[in-house]
Structure 1
Amino acid sequence: MTAPQGKVSAKKPKAAKPESRLAMVRRARRINRELAETYPYAHPELDFRNPFELLVATVLSAQTTDLRVNQTTPALFAAYPTPEDMAAAVPEELEELIRPTGFFRMKAKSLLGLSQALRDDHGGEVPGRLEDLVKLPGVGRKTANVVLGNAFGVPGITVDTHFGRLVRRWKWTEQEDPEKVEAEICAIFPKSEWTMLSHRVVFHGRRICHARRPACGACPIAPLCPAYGEGETDPEKAKKLLKYEKGGRPGQRLSPPPDYPGLPAPPLGEVDAPEA
């Protein structure tokens, strides 16, 4: 029987076939390969010269941008270059130096505590084991994985805000708890990929796959993304949403790696456009 003239017969759309575990893993690994080609220069976006500086910078990065931390740490490390120096700091003077990063009283307490622990319990050296790092004041599993992966070469997944929302957006996991996210993503990728995967995903989240308005039309992994269309799909409009080096703006590091294709960030006090 044909539909009456002027009317369209409605057909129930076929339900999308659920993605198998194997298909998801293959898609996830393809995304990682695409991100590796897009960001061959991916790196930790905190300036540091040794494990102690990375540990301190990572603690300071809570609730602020890596850019603001990088603009703050030159004066901080000039004043307190070692754990012994920082352990002996006058709290009010330490607070004033890290004030630009926000929550400076709480962070100063953590920095004093971890510096004293390094001095008293670890011979003034940052330990290279997860179980030792997480015992330090102000140091959780995320901070420990950042330090282990980038200062000691120990593979680890760093589940920050960007990483968590992207892996859920890509349907790699439905977990919200960072430790559960870490465990599920670790099961998808070989251990050798964990640290660089973390950098690539965070780079992509900061530059293209934004929380509120992803630049879908400028995204290199759009064909692999189940959330394609949540953001701007017009290529020209999407290009205007790109950030940092993808949008022609400075990066977050004042001293970026030699292969970084963008501009260094400006020092504290110089005019710079804010990035999320």
Structure 2
Amino acid sequence: MSAAQAGEFLRALAMHNPKPETELLYSTPFTLLVAVVLSAQTTDAAVNRCTPALFAAAPGPAEMAALGAEGVAPFIRSIGLWQGKAKNVAALSRLLLERHGGEVPADRAALEALPGVGRKTANVVLNVAFGESTMAVDTHIFRLGNRTGLAPGRTPREVEDALVQRCPPELLRDAHHWLILHGRYVCKARLPECWRCPAASHCNYRDKVPAPAA
């Protein structure tokens, strides 16, 4: 897909959803960071079912660190990999207090130095909490980038770099949300719903799925 075609693809998604937002529930950069860490290999909906009670008990890093992994665990047992995530959330909270005065840093290297925080999580926090034009590539965006021809790549980083290069600068910050929501609800893994895709005419996928028979 050419840069011009990529721009048209994204503009079509933008017209369909002009104000995209993350579906994770959060109120501060800290609660966003925790929610994104918990969302690894778990749906946002599953995370949203457990975080209200967790954040009521521990709205900031001091309270979360005081809970510790054993205190965090009961709140998140319903999500995947909860044991490791409980340890990471408690540990990153302690490090925020020790290294950053209890504040979430607006710096990639500092974020990625926290337990449970990789490049994708850092990109989400930088984008949503601090307004940076980053591209967080999850399984949905990786699939969509390759399927549509928007940004083919063998690894998430290759897809990320291609998307950053091809996205019109003014669309880049919101592009992460457009693409993840499109991959989640329309350009699905098993059966893409091409018949209701607003960007179908700009997509290079050869096996477009027609509307089901009435």
Tell me if TM exceeds 0.5: yes
Q: Is the 8 A contact 2:145 2:151 kept in 1?
A: yes
Identity percentage over the alignment? 43
Match of 2:64 in 1: 86
Q: CA RMSD in A?
A: 1.5
- Displacement of 1:221 after TM fit? 1.6
- Displacement of 1:34 after TM fit? 0.2
- Change in Cα spacing, 1:51 to 1:236, as seen in structure 2 (3 Å) is farther
Report the residue type matching 1:152 in the other structure. F
- Displacement of 1:235 after TM fit? 5.8
1:120 is aligned, of 82, 98, 101, to 98
Match of 2:21 in 1: 43
Within 5 Å, give how 1:67-216 maps onto structure 2. 67-216=45-194
- Change in Cα spacing, 1:68 to 1:172, as seen in structure 2 (3 Å) is same
SS at match of 1:127: coil
Partners in 1 of 2:141 and 2:213 — Cα distance?
Answer: 26
What is the number of residues matched between the two proteins?
A: 214
Report the residue type matching 1:134 in the other structure. E
Q: Deviations over 1:63-102 (max 9, x none)?
A: 1110111111000001111101111214223111111112
Q: Deviations over 1:139-196 (max 9, x none)?
A: 0011011111111111100101111110111113331211222112111124442220
Q: Is the 8 A contact 2:186 2:197 kept in 1?
A: yes
Partners in 2 of 1:91 and 1:140 — Cα distance?
Answer: 20
Q: Is the 8 A contact 1:43 1:199 kept in 2?
A: yes
- Change in Cα spacing, 1:131 to 1:205, as seen in structure 2 (3 Å) is same
Match of 2:202 in 1: 224
Ranked by relative contact order (alpha carbons within 8 Å, sequence separation 6 or more), the top structure is 2
Gaps of 5+ in 1: 1-22, 238-276
Q: Deviations over 1:16-44 (max 9, x none)?
A: xxxxxxx6111110000000011123111
TM-score, length basis structure 2 = 0.95
Report the residue type matching 1:100 in the other structure. S
Partners in 2 of 1:150 and 1:92 — Cα distance?
Answer: 29
Which one has a bigger Cα radius of gyration? 1
Partners in 2 of 1:43 and 1:187 — Cα distance?
Answer: 22
TM-score, length basis structure 1 = 0.74
Partners in 2 of 1:217 and 1:191 — Cα distance?
Answer: 29
